[in-house]
Amino acid sequence: MPKPNSKTGKTAGKKSPAPKPIAKKPAVKGPAKKGPTRSKTTSSSPRLRSVPLPVDHSAHKFVLQPFNPATPVDHTPAFESLGELPESYGTRRLFLAARDPRWLYAYWDFTWQQLRDAEQEAHDGKLFLQIFVPGQERVHQIQIFPGSREWYLPVHRPATMFQAELGYYRRDGSFQQLALSGEVLTPRDDPSPNQEVEFVTIPFHYSFRQLLDLIQSQMKPGESLAKALARLQREGYPLPFAYALRRFVPAGVSDRILDYLGGDLVRRIRVGSLEITETLRRRLLEMGSSGIPSSLSSGPRGRDRSFAMHVNAELIIYGGTVPGAKVSVDGKEIALRPDGTFSYHFTFPDGRFHIPIHATAPDGEEKRSALLSFLRLTDTTPGVDPTRQPPLPEPLGRS
Amino acid sequence: MPLGYVAPVLHAHLPFVRHPEYPEFLEEDWFYEAITETYLPLLDMMEGLVRDAVPFRLTMSLTPPLCAMMRDPLLQDRYVHGLEKLIELAGKELDRTKHDPVFHDLARFYHDRLHHCRTMFCDRYHRDLVGAFRKFQDAGVLEIITCGATHGFLPLMREFPQAVRAQIQVARNDYRNCFGRDPRGIWLPECAYYPGLENYLQESEIRWFILDAHGLLYAEPRPAYGVFAPVFTPAGPAAFGRDIESSKQVWSAEEGYPGDGDYRDFYRDCGFDLEYDYIRPYIQPNGLRKFTGLKYYRITGRTPHKEPYRPWVARERAAAHAANFMFNREKQIEHLRGVMGVEPIVLCPYDAELYGHWWYEGPMFLDFLFRKSAFDQRTFEMITPSEFLTRHDTHQISQPSASSWGNEGHWSVWLEGSNAWIYPHLHMATVRMIELAGKFKNANPHQLRDRALRQAARELLLAQSSDWAFIMKTGTMVPYAVKRTKDHLLRFHRLYDQILADRVEESFLGNCEWRNPIFLDLDWRVYA
């Protein structure tokens, strides 16, 4: 049965067609790193492998085999190998990003030698990455080493401005800054308490350029287009299009909407592209236990299996005649290769089979025939399954 | 008058994958499979709806890399060649299964579908899928929106305004070339938004974009109507929020439709199931097996044992799921209308390629949904965001919150241990591209240098594609994503050096152009 829809359940009364539920989604993973982590210098210079990586089908909406750089070609294409990227460029730049409401990410572009030189300038031989709230307190001080290039920093402070600096302490106790990042704002993690509602009419058939031209002379310094239009519309400024003079939102609407979304909001369901990979991953695990011969065979195999065996058989009939002749196998005419040879294959389950084969000369004057008979009997010990086969057609000539 | 609106949005995107330097290249299959299983079925669906005079509205992004691949003669040739091979295989399958009615019917099903694809692609659309989609936009039933030029992750280039502007403006110009008009909406790559991004959209006259729900719910000030009405950002472009409930109904691993046991199983594919010598001509040239698209089993259940697929039963399930989806939207909209007092809009965005490619019956589900919504209910109307903004042009002003539609809702998919190494390199190339554009924007025209500058911009844009970081994160085909990132950057740096030294090597430049002919009239001065 479908999970009752938390919203439509409120108005249930009519029977809804029932979607069948599918399996449970694995728990959402937490942040990849648990705390300030020393960067691995190897991560900045990944290299191509000479052998395919294990396959994880869960990773992409298009599930294919691993890239095989050794695809056979007659020659290496021109300009195929252009060398390697440098470890760093030495621009002395410090970059800070708010990865989410709780984590910052910093990287710095210094060469090993540049950092080594700076280290020697420091009175205690140490370099530091510092995170602070501009104009306020420092929230992180991390010692870094000449080989490191990046750091993930937990801050757990949504909607807060942060800045990073890199440097060292001089003998007099002052901080010598080597680089300063831009300011970044961590995103909000809850609805804003500010419930002020300001409406504006922005007619779709006016371009932004036209609207800007229309009110340019009325705009205050730093005022945005929507804000300026809203102000002018509030003041009753004449504009060449109709606009809503007043618009009223009944009290409590915002809270009722949030209540309506409540469950989902709390659970933080983000049905993005990765949601799909969760589904794929689950399927993969199901398949891993079935022994499907696929590109999975080089990848994780799902859960362990006890010892087992499987066996099966197929039958290939092959032969040849002169080019241009006609050949039928059990009454069906089959295509010959240009040299007159042919082959035809069937699945071969238990049973007795008689398969007539006829060839007719290109001029239709002569015929040759053969009757091939086969018997398959299978006897197995427990724990032996038939090897998975293509959809099994009834074999020809079964008696 | 309807009580509210439903706006289905499909995001159609694939990274630019085109390898003329190899006779066959596995990753190009992403594109070929998507044509057969998603793009042609969606076009087929729209043909049917128009033919039957069903009033419907659909919004689709067709990203610039996808459009470039759709218009590329080499990829068109390769698609037709691959389709011919599949038709040949399907013909053999008819023979092989002739005494088994269940599988023979399935073989016939694929044989007919593949023939139909060939007819559509070659005869009806003359290989021009961009033109095919454009036709529906011109007919007023489909709104096509743009995206970042190469699906670059914009928040992680925000320190470089020229880079963000280039992603938007190059995309807009490409849209003009493809569709003969300006785009009105944009699918921000990965729905990734940061406050201030709307300024670049305003510059390009882009009127609206889509956010994941929390991007709108956590806007400042709080949007009174939650995700059920757009807000105007301070710069003017409107932000629509994704409806959580309808997204979950389709895609949730817990309760989504596509996992129904009657639907076709994605993994059981002839390419892996059939005897090796028989299937050998239809798999990879190196002998490794691959998906062929001929899949004979249904999901069945949480078991390795799979039952044969029954298309007519799956069709019934798709109809039932469409009815369920419609019913839930009706109830949702009745409730919301009561709370809000104005018409709510329920925006339902999905990855397009998941319809058909992953959820085989997805296009059928959409077809039923459009038909049922048009004739079996009066509660809501299907609409596109542009049409909604035309009818409803008064909205609250609010500044949305930084967000994406990736796992955990922000940047953590595209900025973590596996892929963070790319950003110093991308930023360096960006700095250098800005330097080049500044240095040469007023220089006298110089044909070879202009070509090199244009190609340098192409290589930078291609390196910025968020797909590479995504693939690195998810762990499949990582070497390909790493190689693509490095190759584009290394080509960029080599061109940079040659341009500055005034020694552009034409053979190298020509090779770059041959490999990556995207944005043919790209104006590199956008970086100035």
Q: Each residue of A82-97: pLDDT tens digit?
A: 999 999 999 999 999 9
d(CA A379, CA B480): 47
Contact A202 B98 (CB under 8 A): no
Among B195-199, B343-347, B473-477, which is the least confidently predicted range? Answer: B473-477
Contact A25 B402 (CB under 8 A): no
List chain B domain ranges: 4-71+128-264+309-408, 416-527
pLDDT for A99 beyond 70: yes
Three-state SS at A155: coil
Per-residue pLDDT at A3: 35
Per-residue pLDDT at B253: 58
In the stretch 314-373 of chain A, residues with CB closer than 8 A to chain B read: 314, 316, 332, 334, 345-346
Query: Which residues make Cβ contacts (< 8 Å) with residue A95, sequence separation at least 6?
Result: A106, A107, A108, A109, A181, A182, B159, B423, B424, B427
d(CA A91, CA A179): 10
Per-residue pLDDT at B322: 97
DSSP helix, strand, coil percent of chain B (3-state; round to 5): 55, 10, 35
Per-residue pLDDT at A309: 77
Which range, A66-70, A142-146, B230-234, is most confident? B230-234
CATH architecture of B4-71+128-264+309-408: Alpha-Beta Barrel (3.20)
**Mean of per-residue pLDDT scores for chain B:** 95
Residue % of chain B over a pLDDT of 90: 89
Per-residue pLDDT at A346: 67
pLDDT band at A351 (very low <50, low <70, confident <90, very high): confident
pLDDT band at B190 (very low <50, low <70, confident <90, very high): very high
Q: What is the mean pLDDT of residues A115-143?
A: 95
Looking at the domain that runs over A93-185, which CATH code has it been given? 2.60.40.10
**Mean of per-residue pLDDT scores for chain A:** 73
Q: Which amino acid is at A229?
A: L
Calculate how close chain A gets to B266, using CA atoms only, in Å. 9
| Angle made by CA atoms B177, B58, B203, in degrees to the nearest 5 | 45
Per-residue pLDDT at B526: 97
Per-residue pLDDT at A159: 95
Chosen CATH of A310-377 out of 2.60.40, 3.30.450, 1.10.3470, 3.30.300: 2.60.40
Calculate how close chain A gets to B477, using CA atoms only, in Å. 5
Chain A residues with CB inside 8 Å of B154's CB? none
Tokens of B2: 């309807």
Among A2-6, A271-275, B304-308, B352-356, which is the least confidently predicted range? Answer: A2-6
Residue % of chain B over a pLDDT of 70: 99
pLDDT band at B120 (very low <50, low <70, confident <90, very high): very high
Chain B residue at shortest CA distance from A198: B396
Contact A7 B331 (CB under 8 A): yes
Mutate to test the interface with B, among A198, A204, A209 (most CBs of B within 10 A): A204
Question: Do residues B241 and B212 lie in contact, with contact meaning Cβ atoms separated by under 8 Å?
Answer: yes
- The string of pLDDT tens digits covering residues B37-60 is 999 999 999 999 999 999 999 999
Long-range contacts of the stretch A373-379 (C-beta < 8 A, 24+): A374/A315, A374/A348, A375/A351, A376/A313, A376/A348, A376/A349, A376/A350, A376/A351, A377/A350, A378/A311, A378/A350
pTM over 0.90: no
What is the DSSP code (8-state) at residue B352? G
pLDDT band at A267 (very low <50, low <70, confident <90, very high): very low
Question: Do residues B414 and B464 lie in contact, with contact meaning Cβ atoms separated by under 8 Å?
Answer: no
| Beta pairing, strands B4-12 & A351-360 | unpaired
Per-residue pLDDT at B447: 94
Per-residue pLDDT at A60: 37
Residue A185 contacts B, CB cutoff 8 Å: yes
| Stronger pLDDT, B528 or A350, i.e. the higher one | B528
Q: What is the mean pLDDT of residues B168-194?
A: 98
Residue B261 contacts A, CB cutoff 8 Å: yes
User: Is B416-527 in CATH node 1.20.1430.10?
Assistant: yes
pLDDT for A377 beyond 90: no
Backbone angles phi, psi at A165, to 5 degrees: -140, 155
pLDDT for B478 beyond 60: yes
Beta strands in B64-141 (DSSP E): none
Among A2-11, A234-243, B511-520, which is the least confidently predicted range? Answer: A2-11
Residue B253 contacts A, CB cutoff 8 Å: yes
Chain A residues with CB inside 8 Å of B304's CB? 286-287, 289-292
- Listed in order, the ranges of chain A carrying CATH 2.60.40.10 are 93-185
Q: What is the mean pLDDT of residues A276-287?
A: 41
* A83 closest CB neighbour out of B256, B403, B490: B490
* B351 closest CB neighbour out of A61, A188, A195: A61
pLDDT band at A59 (very low <50, low <70, confident <90, very high): very low
Calculate how close chain A gets to B344, using CA atoms only, in Å. 11
Tokens of B221: 């000030």
Per-residue pLDDT at A341: 83
Q: Which amino acid is at B284?
A: Q
* A61 closest CB neighbour out of B224, B354, B511: B354
* A195 closest CB neighbour out of B156, B221, B341: B221
In the stretch 260-319 of chain A, residues with CB closer than 8 A to chain B read: 260-261, 264-265, 268-279, 282-283, 286-287, 289-295, 314, 316
Per-residue pLDDT at A307: 67
Contact A105 B222 (CB under 8 A): no
Distance of alpha carbon B428 from its chain centroid, rounded?
Answer: 28
Per-residue pLDDT at A246: 66
Q: Which amino acid is at A73?
A: V
Chain B residue at shortest CA distance from A12: B331
Tokens of B459: 């290589």
